[in-house]
Amino acid sequence: MQNDQHYPFTLRFATFLSPVLYDAYAFIASSIGEQIGCPSQLTVGHSLEEFVEGEAHIGFVCGLLYSQRTHCPFCPIELLAAPVPYPPRYQGKPLYFSDVIVHKESSFASFEDLQGCRWGYNEHVSHSGWNLVRYSLYKQGHTPHFFGSTVETGSHQRSIEMVIQGKVEAAAIDSLVLDLFLLDNPDLAAQIRVVATLGPSAIPPVVVSKNLDVTLKQSIQALLLNMHRDPQAAKILHQSLIERFVPVTDEHYEDIYRMFTLVQAQEISPILNPNM
């Protein structure tokens, strides 16, 4: 799908997600830029304010970050689409899970066994690594200090590495990130075990700046939704375990926001013990 119209600016993509998926996002950015008829670049995003300031036009963001911003007085972004992972556990839908992992040699066999453990989490703006865990603790009637101590690792990949190295005893990982990490590092697969699975939840979406030209937004969305029809693109997407992209609405992410507000209302936040 080649667009005859050319745009005199660089189409800026930003990822706010795990670096494990960076290659897939880089391909998407390059492919869309080429077909739209303008240069494109992918950077690591740090704040949604980048969309306000014109530093980012299209983003790959966590569902929690998106749903929180949609409930603010001004939201600079809107939904374009969401990926559908192709492994069977995802049921052909735009969803994912939070897999709770431990070292293979540990004695932990369930989520309940993790009381008092040294817990690792990627970052506090993550749904799979933080928000869903907090919600699950609340639903099971646990106190904010269920875990003995906590460590912010900085990324899902680092959380996995720290579990393997024994620096933390358990962590909750975005299931697609975990699948990809183990696919790329098969020798490490035997060193961890999944003791619980939380979810499913709406998968992190692709968003676009509200300031972008409407016609351009529609063209980009069409390219995303049809990307899997191109054999070469489909092959590259499959390497990142993505089958296709589908349309999603704000309603898909309301459950994530509901979990967040419920925990906040119960004064469970912050649920992690600051005493390490």
In a domain, 234, yes or no: yes
pLDDT in tens, 140-151: 998 768 999 999
CATH number reported for the structural domain that contains residue 43 in this entry: 3.40.190.10
| Percent of the chain at pLDDT exceeding 90 | 86
Structural domain harbouring 35? 11-86+203-254
Same domain, 101 and 64: no
Same domain, 105 and 41: no
- Which residues are within 8 A (CB) of 25 and not within 5 positions of it... i.e. 6 or more apart? 13, 15, 17, 42, 60
In a domain, 74, yes or no: yes
Instruction: Please count the other Cβ atoms lying within 10 Å of the Cβ belonging to residue 158.
Output: 19
Q: What is the pTM of this model?
A: 0.90
Number of domains present in the structure of the chain: 2
Burial class (CB in 10 A: 0-12, 13-18, 19+), 191: middle
pLDDT in tens, 83-103: 999 999 999 999 999 999 999
In a domain, 27, yes or no: yes
Rounded Cα distance between 121 and 168, Å, is: 9
In a domain, 65, yes or no: yes
Q: Which residue from 108, 107, 136, 110 is spatially nearest to 121, judged by alpha carbons?
A: 136
pLDDT in tens, 125-134: 899 999 999 9
In a domain, 4, yes or no: no
**pLDDT score at 17:** 93
pLDDT greater than 70 at residue 273 = no
In a domain, 76, yes or no: yes
Q: Which residue from 108, 102, 46, 52 is spatially nearest to 75, judged by alpha carbons?
A: 52
Burial class (CB in 10 A: 0-12, 13-18, 19+), 4: exposed
pLDDT in tens, 158-207: 999 999 999 999 999 999 999 999 999 999 999 999 999 999 999 999 99
Place of tokens 């035997």: 190
Rounded Cα distance between 123 and 153, Å, is: 7
In a domain, 113, yes or no: yes
In a domain, 174, yes or no: yes
Same domain, 102 and 139: yes
